[in-house]
Amino acid sequence: MYDSIIPTADSIPVHWLWFQGLLILTFFIHMILMNFLLGGSLLTVWDLLRGKLEKKASGSIPTLVALTVNFGVPPLLFVQVLYGHLFYSSSVMLAVPWILVVPVLILAYYGAYIFVKQTDKAPVLSKVALVFTSLSLLCIAFVLVNNNTLAIRPDQWEIYFDNPGGWNLNLGEPTLWSRYAHFVLAALAIGALGRAILYRFSKIKKKEKDLQIRRNLKIFAWITLAQFGVGTWFWLSMPSEVWKNFMGGSLFATAMMVIGWIVALLILHSSFTGRLSAAMVLGGIEVFVMVIVRDLARTAYLNEIFRPSQLESRGEGSPLIAFLLVFAVGLFVLYYMIRLIFKSKAPQP
């Protein structure tokens, strides 16, 4: 009944599985960085309100903004390659909030720098800038959730004809608020883990270092525990044909969901017992599993509408090779930058 308003999908250069694999990989990297950024900034605001602001854990926010934005481009491009006819349509429907993401992000970037650079010179301005940056990131996340949910619900696209002005937030989506809460809590959890890792490489005294690591690991654990409830709320707010996919409807989807729950339980144990290395590995595995689960849920939503396997391949491999070379260089640069950051924080002889 709504097939007539869905644009025709474009052909793609190579087999769709290349882009599917790269989408999952690049989105995983982006999610790690994004969680460090959003969660870290929100936790820093909490420290600020408690009067216990830790410069060690907050000075990396501007760097994280740059890394998150740059590594958000590849998964966005791959989504457009595989689901462009759906994603472009939803972007047009909420055109005004979607285009405002760019200036708001730029202002948030300025706010992050003002917060770091003016902490001692103008503390009030610095605090206001931090709160502004955190609220801006929350607003951007809300717009992204709206766009992503609208892209997989063509049956909701009729809202455009009631309001063609580009302000069509997907507020009628049953999963909107549970998805958003799940998204923000995940950022807080991984953000706390990131702060624990940062303290691990800091130059402060061992007693203070261990105290901060244990504190942030406990935050990681408690928020992960809260995710059991919020995640279940999000899961059950999906259409029955989607969430049943993870309860035996699909063997692979069910296996990934079970793995996600098991890893979350292991995270609770490692975090409450102060085992940073184990928590770090398990946290990375959990994010990767959830990225796959998210993709499986999108596939289930679009099951009767569209599948990437339907895309026509033109057999042109050179653009993909060029991208892979540039992407490899980008990963090396990221590794080198992170190495320099940790090297600068290591104790000097």
**Tokens, residue 76:** 């966005």
Using alpha carbons only, give the angle 31, 48, 72 rounded to the nearest 5 degrees.
15
Identify the residue whose tokens are 């644009």. 7
> What residue type is 64 in one-letter code?
L
Distance separating alpha carbons of residues 317 and 298, to the nearest angstrom: 27
Indicate the pTM of the whole model.
0.91
Beta bridge partners of 313: 12
Angle at 79 between CA 75 and CA 83, to 5 degrees: 175
User: Tokens 């654990």 — which residue?
Assistant: 221
Per-residue pLDDT tens digits for 11-21:
899 999 999 99
Cβ atoms 217, 271 nearer than 8 A: yes
* Crossing angle of helices 276-301 and 206-236, rounded to 10°: 20
Residue among 176, 194, 182 nearest 39 (CA): 194
Most confident stretch, 20-24, 305-309, 322-326:
20-24
Q: Residue 83: how many CB atoms within 10 A of its CB? A: 22
Between 343 and 115, where is the model more confident?
A: 115
55-88: pLDDT as tens digits? 666 667 888 888 899 889 889 999 999 999 999 9
C-alpha closest to that of 242 among 311, 172, 152, 182: 152
Tokens 């924080």 locate to: 345
Q: What pLDDT does residue 340 have?
A: 77
Q: Is the pLDDT of residue 198 over 70?
A: yes
